[in-house]
Chains A and B, each alone.
Chain A
């Protein structure tokens, strides 16, 4: 039973941490994007919006 529980902790745990990792990367990109938006001219801003 210990091995079974450990295995399902691995399945759910690794999935959870990978999703968390992706969410953090996404948030970091959005912050970088926000900083860049402030520097970009209006024409490029439209291209940026397509990314979101």
Chain B
């Protein structure tokens, strides 16, 4: 591992520890929900990083279709996998927050439904990739799929802003009068939120880099193994 990579990872770990400390020590206890509100700092950050990952996959896919350079397809593939891990965290922890606040683990609210659709659509991306054997066809198909799949991201974002939902809007005003668990942010809460967002964005970039390098090495190795096979 190169020096800049060690530095990058070190800063990320330090910020993650700092963000966790801020969540538990620095941020005040929310008046109505109590301590369970502290889930929101990382819940929003993982959801944001997950959607950022899908945006990277979109950019990578467009770049692949334009240039046909394999590194863009490898980046998209890596971004979707990392994005799915992050979105899985957001979904599970959202459910853990909902149980005490909404008195249910799950409800088919527009925000929860669109998030689930996004998760399934990107899971299908990974499964369908494996179904295509020809590498060129696979990359082209995956790129087109990732571009179309990205439609689910703005729909998920807007679902809680345009539709009647019980999901609270933490960043920005809520339009739904039915939102349950809505809360205002004090300055300390805003600091914690910003720190969490920065820490998770950095962690996402580290995970993406690690996964991209593996993908790149694996594909090159497979090519070299094929070349080394006695004909």
Contacts and interface: CB of A to CB of B under 8 A. Distances in A.
Contact of B43 (A7, A15, A33): A7
Interface stretch (B124-132, B157-165, B211-219): B211-219
B36 A40 contact: no
B42 A22 contact: no
B-side binding surface: helix, strand, loop or mixed? helix
Contacts, number: 77
A14 B100 CA distance: 22
A3 B39 contact: yes
Given A14-B89, A22-B210, A29 B97 contact: no
A10 B85 contact: no
Given A4-B35, A44-B224, A11 B93 contact: yes
| B20, B36, B224 — most chain A CB neighbours (10 Å) | B224
Given A40-B224, A51-B220, A7 B207 contact: no
Interface string B88-107: 11001100110110000000
Contacts of A3: 36, 39, 96-97, 99-100
Contacts of A39: 228
Contacts of A6: 96
Contacts of A14: 85, 88-89, 92
A25 B211 CA distance: 9
Given A10-B92, A10-B96, A4 B221 contact: no
A33 B203 contact: no
Contacts of A19: 207, 210
Interface in A26-45: 26, 29, 32-33, 36, 39-40, 44
Given A11-B42, A48-B224, A22 B214 contact: yes
Contacts of A40: 224, 228
A10 B85 CA distance: 11
Most buried by B among A11, A18, A39: A11
A22 B20 CA distance: 23
Nearest to A48: B224
B185 to A, nearest CB: 18
B199 to A, nearest CB: 11
Interface of A: 1, 3-4, 6-8, 10-11, 14-15, 18-19, 22, 25-26, 29, 32-33, 36, 39-40, 44, 47-48, 51
13 contacts: A1-B36, A4-B35, A8-B23, A8-B39, A10-B89, A10-B92, A14-B89, A22-B210, A25-B218, A29-B217, A29-B221, A40-B228, A44-B227
